[in-house]
């Protein structure tokens, strides 16, 4: 039997202490992995439906094959794994700001680590997604100006609820325009949000992109008598 609670790693980072925890939920008979940044719960392996939907909905909106995909935010790896499960994907670049999270995957401390690191299409890159979006060269130092068929982002809690106040500029017209220039023609920007759809942000996307839509993702929370939870995947096409 697994331990009821275990802190697998703890590190200080420039944006606060980050820890990886594993706890046993006896009522469900499962081990749950959690990433905590300061007092913020970044991700739990118990709730992954919307992270997977970010990949599935985002790629469904892209036409063609041999897709080059970028994911902003590695976390526990559920979005990245869902991307790799799509046979149309030729390459996946994952930008993660916290080196510890990449280390946890590469060392096999996280369950999905071997799947991601064992796939030749997948590259885990340490970097500031928001800073790279606004930079002159973009996300790939080896191919400055490289553009992608899909850019899928799961970093902040919502477009108006940031892990770092410095991220706020990304959600403005200027920041979204910078991201749009990183996409191939017909490319798709997908954004995860912990909150229900926000019409104001959908409208902000529509000012920059050719199309914009908010897709609610509803699932049951087994810790709250299966009460429904609604999160959102925003999709925008250039």
Expressed as residue numbers, the domain containing 55 is 47-237
Q: 81-105: per-residue pLDDT in tens?
A: 999 999 999 999 999 999 999 999 9
- Whole-number Å distance between alpha carbons of 213 and 164: 25
Q: 135-158: per-residue pLDDT in tens?
A: 999 999 999 999 999 999 999 999
- Whole-number Å distance between alpha carbons of 61 and 236: 9
CATH code for the domain of 211: 3.40.50.150
Residue 140 in any domain: the answer is yes
Q: What angle do CA 109, 110, 112 make, to 5 degrees?
A: 135
- Whole-number Å distance between alpha carbons of 75 and 104: 10
Q: 7-65: per-residue pLDDT in tens?
A: 999 999 988 999 999 999 998 999 999 999 998 899 999 999 999 999 999 999 999 99
User: What is residue 2's predicted lDDT score, i.e. its pLDDT?
Assistant: 60
Residue 138 in any domain: the answer is yes
Q: 194-233: per-residue pLDDT in tens?
A: 999 999 999 999 999 999 999 999 999 998 889 999 999 9
If you average pLDDT over residues 174-180, what whole number do you get?
98
Residue 124 in any domain: the answer is yes
The domain total for the chain is 1
If you average pLDDT over residues 129-136, what whole number do you get?
97
Residue 152 in any domain: the answer is yes
Q: 111-128: per-residue pLDDT in tens?
A: 999 999 999 999 999 999
Residue 100 in any domain: the answer is yes
**Band of residue 1 on the pLDDT scale cut at 50, 70, 90:** very low
If you average pLDDT over residues 165-190, what whole number do you get?
98
pTM of the predicted model as reported, rounded to 2 decimal places? 0.97
Residue 151 in any domain: the answer is yes
User: What is residue 3's predicted lDDT score, i.e. its pLDDT?
Assistant: 79
């Amino acid at each position: 039997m697994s331990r009821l609670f275990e802190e697998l790693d703890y590190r200080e980072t420039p944006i606060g202490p980050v820890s990886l925890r594993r706890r046993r939920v006896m009522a469900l008979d499962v081990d749950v992995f959690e990433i905590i940044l300061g007092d913020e719960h970044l991700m739990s392996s118990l709730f992954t439906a919307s992270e997977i939907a970010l990949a599935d909905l985002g790629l469904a909106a892209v036409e063609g094959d041999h897709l080059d995909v970028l994911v902003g935010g590695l976390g526990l790896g559920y979005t990245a794994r869902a991307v790799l499960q799509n046979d149309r994907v030729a390459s996946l670049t994952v930008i993660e700001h916290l080196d510890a999270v990449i280390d946890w995957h590469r060392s096999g401390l996280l369950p999905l680590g071997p799947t991601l690191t064992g796939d030749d299409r997948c590259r885990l890159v340490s970097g500031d997604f928001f800073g790279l979006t606004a930079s002159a060269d973009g996300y790939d130092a080896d191919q400055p100006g490289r553009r992608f068929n899909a850019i899928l982002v799961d970093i902040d809690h919502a477009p108006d609820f940031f892990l770092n106040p410095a991220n706020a500029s990304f959600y403005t017209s200027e920041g979204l325009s910078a991201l749009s220039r990183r996409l191939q023609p017909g490319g798709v920007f997908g954004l995860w949000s912990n909150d229900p759809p926000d019409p104001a942000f959908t409208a902000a996307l529509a000012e920059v992109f050719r199309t914009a839509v908010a897709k609610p993702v509803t699932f049951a929370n087994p810790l709250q008598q299966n009460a429904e939870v609604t999160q959102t995947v925003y999709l925008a096409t250039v």
